[in-house]
């Protein structure tokens, strides 16, 4: 799960990282009230998960609460990179003398958290990595953690003033706690700013949480953007399915992420367009299959549906039962092609044929068949 | 011959009394695997499918002389199960469970590594997974959830990040008459115990493995590294496949590891890296058996022709340069 800036700052503040006072607002009125309570110059920032918010007009300064109202109204009317702005963060504005970049990311290859630090802050780090990779300092964190002296020595490499380096080291140590205890895949501060008075503060927060760890973070639930979820995404999440909607017209239900990707690739290879990625996962019960069909039929672009099941931990008869149950409840208006093979394949075939459905065993054949059916519907 | 598991595998099942654990214990026994015990804390003293259940792995090892463990316990407890198996002296730990937080996997990975000692790729203990289908040595043993009916003994080593895609390809290999030495599903998580390079090392060292099928997917750069390793160290023919050619960037495709970010980890880059290393890449799964058959045929012909002149080990070497080596495009572009 990717957190919004205001959520990331909430998490940062919990661990004592220096963030400026601020609050999220969903209406211009709320923005005005927050601005009044903060007092003085405030910055109003669109809360969407997209880079380049400033360029898109999603970040504005306001001197008075009234101005905050107006600016918030303008920003809340924006759509940035296809994402409607539903909230703004209203925060105390800061003078900036210098901007740095600091992040901790999981390095899967080295199997250790990686600190990335640069004196080139405020711009996208991908850009720095492309144009001036030598300006990024990388250091892995050892298994037994990060020592304060290591953090100080690292920061002293980019902060010319040692007192600032010491402050930044404290930020790094706290950021590492956020990363570890917060189960993050990424914790990024860009910019990590120094004020003219020499204070080091986190002016932005980009946090990606490891979804697998949600069982031990009950507080994550309230960060979820329920209103940004489509019906399909919501149902998929509730039923434990992996679902990504795409542009095409062939709905696919597959067990296993690799096979699901390969199925999409094969559809494209034979001249079709997949409507989605949908993995019903391992030990699938009939309920998951019902949910999957509901999600796919909820996508109006879908012209034909393909089931591609290779039973292992998934039992083909479970899937067949799920298909039959949902078709009894709500018959399909588009053609259905079923491919299944593997664990309990014979039982599954029996269940399907009792209901008048056939199934193939070849993936290539099934994909070609579903493309043909979709084209018949289109014609 | 085979790698990692065979007739001498003595297996315990951690989480044997759960739904998946119980079901697959039965499947593994039916396949002929020596399942010598199971572990579920609090259920010691009972049995499951006539297999004795113990409260701890240490007790199970003491009573059964188990050398391998397979883990089906829920995600929240799976890392602890890996630690327990490693500390009890299990040599091969296979974690089927999906959904482990990366932080937990990382701890377990480093524990296993510390017991083995770094720079010892063929040593013990070894962790496979998490979030993997396990492994199978046709006709000898299966550890995990790979369906037994789709494999056959033969000369091909199979290593894959995926589960069901592996079944798909293995079945097509078997249907084409290409049996397998061992099939290993290494898992699709960002951090895994055994990677492509480990598996390639094992297959390269196994005298019965004549060719290797490698199936990767989008995300990370394990495929690029595997390509480089194959170019330098693997003398046996390899066929590669990469899933996710049509996956859009920034979207997680099911596996926690399968996400393209920042312009790295795309299927296109990975395929280019394999091709630059002289490894033929199948565009679709059904091309894999044909490519493998051709390469095996060529290798055997070459071996037969060369057999009179030199030792087999020598002959493997000259065959690779048949392919024109392009500079490793993927490697130059790769960001860290």
Per-chain mean pLDDT for chain A = 93
- Positions of B marked active-site: 255
A115 in Cβ contact with A124 (< 8 Å) = no
Indicate the residue of A130, A246, A261 with minimum beta-carbon distance to B243.
A261
CA B163 to mean position of chain CA atoms: 10
Phi, psi of B34 (to 5 degrees): -80, 90
Closest-CA residue to B99 (of B22, B216, B165, B189): B189
Task: Check if A134 is active-site.
Answer: no
pLDDT greater at residue B249 or residue B20: B20
pLDDT score for A237: 86
Residues 6+ apart with CB under 8 A from A278: A236, A241, A242, A243, A244, A251, A252, A253, A254, A260, A292, A295, A296
Q: Answer with the one of A222, A238, A259 that is the final residue of a domain.
A: A222
Per-chain mean pLDDT for chain B = 89
Q: Are residues A102 and A213 in the same domain?
A: yes
To probe the interface with A, which of B103, B150, B191 has the most A CB atoms within 10 Å? Answer: B103
Residues 6+ apart with CB under 8 A from A346: none
pLDDT at residue A127 above 90? no
Q: Are residues A144 and A187 in the same domain?
A: yes
For chain A, give the percent of residues with pLDDT over 70.
98
pLDDT at residue B324 above 70? no
pLDDT at residue B335 above 70? no
pLDDT at residue A80 above 50? yes
Structure token pair of residue A154: 């690292």
A276 in Cβ contact with B246 (< 8 Å) = no
pLDDT score for B260: 67
pLDDT score for B317: 46
pLDDT greater at residue B227 or residue B318: B227
B142 CB neighbour count, 10 Å cutoff: 29
Residues A220 and B27: their CA atoms lie apart, in Å, by: 38
The pLDDT-based confidence of B263 (bands split at 50, 70, 90) is low
Q: Is A314 in the B-facing interface, judged by CB distances under 8 Å?
A: yes
Residues A29 and A35: their CA atoms lie apart, in Å, by: 10
CA triple A158-A162-A166, angle to 5 deg: 90
Instruction: Report CA-CA distances (Å) from B224 to A346, B102, B177, B237.
Output: 40, 22, 30, 17
Indicate the residue of A260, A283, A314 with minimum beta-carbon distance to B254.
A260
**Number of separate domains in chain B:** 1
Residue B317 lies in a domain: no
Residue of chain B minimizing CA distance to A272:
B246
pLDDT score for B313: 47
Q: Are residues A59 and A34 in the same domain?
A: yes
B146-201 pLDDT, tens digit per residue, is 989 999 999 999 999 998 999 999 999 999 999 999 999 999 999 999 999 999 99
To probe the interface with A, which of B13, B135, B246, B252 has the most A CB atoms within 10 Å? Answer: B246
Residue A316 lies in a domain: yes
CA triple B283-A282-A273, angle to 5 deg: 40
Predicted ipTM of the assembly = 0.88
Q: Is B194 in the A-facing interface, judged by CB distances under 8 Å?
A: no
pLDDT score for B262: 56
pLDDT at residue A154 above 70? yes
Beta bridge partners of B126: B92
Residue-range definition of the domain harbouring residue A319: 229-378
Alpha helices in chain B (DSSP H): 19-31, 57-64, 75-87, 102-116, 164-175, 196-205, 222-233, 267-276, 288-306, 312-319, 329-333
Residues A252 and A367: their CA atoms lie apart, in Å, by: 10
pLDDT score for A133: 87
pLDDT score for A132: 87
Residue A3 lies in a domain: no
CA A57 to mean position of chain CA atoms: 23
Give the A:B interface size as CB pairs under 8 Å. Answer: 169
Q: Is B271 in the A-facing interface, judged by CB distances under 8 Å?
A: no
**Coil, helix or strand at residue B92:** strand
Average of pLDDT values for A103-130?
Answer: 89
pLDDT score for A265: 96
For chain B, give the percent of residues with pLDDT over 70.
89
pLDDT score for A81: 84
Residue B212 lies in a domain: yes
B47-101 pLDDT, tens digit per residue, is 999 999 999 999 999 999 999 999 999 999 999 999 999 999 999 999 999 999 9
Residues B245 and B268: their CA atoms lie apart, in Å, by: 7
Residue B274 lies in a domain: yes
Structure token pair of residue B185: 């599903």
Residue A16 lies in a domain: no
CATH number, position A64: 3.30.1490.20
Residue-range definition of the domain harbouring residue B81: 10-293
B167 in Cβ contact with B142 (< 8 Å) = no
Residue A270 lies in a domain: yes
Residues B110 and B107: their CA atoms lie apart, in Å, by: 5
Residues B164 and A283: their CA atoms lie apart, in Å, by: 12
pLDDT score for B1: 66
B22-44 pLDDT, tens digit per residue, is 999 999 999 999 999 999 999 99
Q: Answer with the one of A70, A92, A114 that is the final residue of a domain.
A: A92
Residue A109 lies in a domain: yes
Put simply, the chain B residues between 76 and 105 with a CB less than 8 A from any chain A CB are: 76, 96, 98-104
Residue A72 lies in a domain: yes
């Amino acid at each position: 799960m990717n957190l919004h800036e205001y959520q990331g700052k909430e998490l940062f503040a919990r661990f004592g990282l220096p963030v400026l006072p601020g609050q999220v607002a969903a209406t211009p009125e709320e923005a005005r009230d927050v601005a009044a309570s903060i007092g003085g110059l405030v910055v109003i920032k669109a809360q969407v998960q997209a880079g380049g918010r400033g360029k898109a007009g999603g970040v504005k300064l306001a001197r008075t609460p009234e101005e905050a109202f107006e600016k918030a109204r303008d920003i809340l009317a924006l759509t940035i990179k296809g994402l409607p702005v539903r909230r703004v963060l209203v925060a105390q504005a800061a003078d900036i003398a210098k901007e740095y970049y600091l992040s901790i990311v999981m390095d899967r290859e080295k199997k250790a958290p990686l600190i990335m630090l640069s004196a080139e802050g405020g711009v996208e780090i991908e850009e720095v990595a492309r144009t001036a990779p030598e300006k990024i300092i990388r250091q892995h964190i050892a298994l037994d953690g990060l020592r304060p002296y290591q953090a100080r020595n690292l920061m002293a490499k980019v902060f010319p003033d040692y007192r600032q380096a010491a402050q930044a080291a404290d930020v790094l140590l706290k950021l590492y706690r956020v990363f570890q205890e917060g189960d993050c895949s990424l914790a990024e501060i860009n910019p990590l700013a120094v004020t003219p008075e020499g204070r080091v503060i986190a002016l932005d927060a980009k946090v990606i949480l490891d979804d697998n760890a949600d069982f031990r973070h009950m507080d994550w639930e309230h960060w979820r953007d329920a209103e940004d979820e489509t019906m399909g995404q919501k149902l998929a999440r509730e039923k434990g399915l992996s679902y990504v909607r795409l542009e095409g017209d062939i709905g696919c239900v597959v067990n296993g992420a690799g096979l699901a990707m390969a199925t999409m690739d094969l559809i494209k290879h034979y001249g079709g367009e997949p409507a989605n990625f949908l993995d019903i996962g391992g030990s699938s019960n009939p309920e998951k299959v019902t949910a999957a069909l509901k999600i796919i039929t909820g996508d109006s672009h879908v012209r034909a549906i393909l089931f591609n099941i290779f039973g292992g931990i998934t039992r083909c008869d479970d899937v067949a039962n799920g298909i039959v149950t949902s078709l009894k409840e709500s018959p399909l208006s588009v053609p259905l092609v079923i491919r299944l093979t593997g664990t309990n394949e014979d039982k599954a075939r029996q269940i399907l044929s009792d209901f008048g459905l056939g199934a193939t065993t070849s993936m290539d054949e099934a994909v070609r068949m579903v493309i043909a059916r979709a084209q018949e519907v289109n014609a | 011959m085979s790698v990692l598991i065979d007739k001498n595998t003595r297996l315990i099942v951690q989480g044997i009394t759960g739904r998946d654990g119980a079901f697959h214990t039965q499947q593994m026994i039916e396949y002929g695997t020596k399942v010598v015990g199971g572990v579920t804390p609090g259920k010691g003293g009972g049995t499951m499918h006539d297999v004795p259940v113990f409260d701890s792995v240490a007790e199970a090892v003491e009573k059964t002389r188990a050398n391998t463990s397979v883990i089906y316990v829920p995600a929240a407890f799976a890392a602890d199960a890996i630690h327990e198996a490693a500390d009890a002296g299990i040599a091969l730990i296979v974690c089927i469970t999906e959904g482990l937080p990366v932080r937990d996997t990382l701890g377990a990975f480093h524990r296993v590594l510390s017991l083995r000692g770094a720079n010892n790729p063929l040593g013990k203990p070894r962790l496979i997974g998490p979030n993997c289908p396990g492994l199978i040595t046709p006709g000898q043993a299966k550890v995990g959830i790979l369906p037994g009916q789709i494999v056959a003994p033969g000369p091909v080593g199979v290593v894959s990040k995926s589960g069901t895609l592996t079944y798909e390809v293995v079945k097509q290999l078997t249907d084409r008459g290409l049996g397998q030495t061992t099939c290993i599903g290494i898992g699709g998580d960002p951090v895994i115990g055994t990677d492509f390079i480990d598996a390639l090392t094992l297959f390269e060292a196994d005298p019965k493995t004549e060719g290797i099928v490698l199936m990767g997917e989008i995300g990370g750069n394990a495929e690029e590294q595997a390509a480089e390793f194959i170019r330098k160290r693997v003398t046996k023919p390899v066929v590669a496949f990469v899933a996710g050619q049509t996956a859009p960037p920034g979207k997680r495709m099911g596996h926690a590891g399968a996400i393209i970010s920042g312009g790295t980890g795309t299927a296109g880059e990975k395929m280019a890296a394999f091709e630059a290393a002289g490894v033929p890449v199948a565009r679709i799964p059904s091309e894999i058996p044909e490519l493998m058959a051709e390469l095996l045929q060529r290798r055997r012909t070459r071996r037969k022709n060369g057999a009179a002149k030199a030792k087999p080990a020598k002959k493997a070497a000259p065959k690779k340069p048949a392919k024109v080596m392009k500079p490793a495009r993927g490697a130059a572009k790769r960001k860290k």
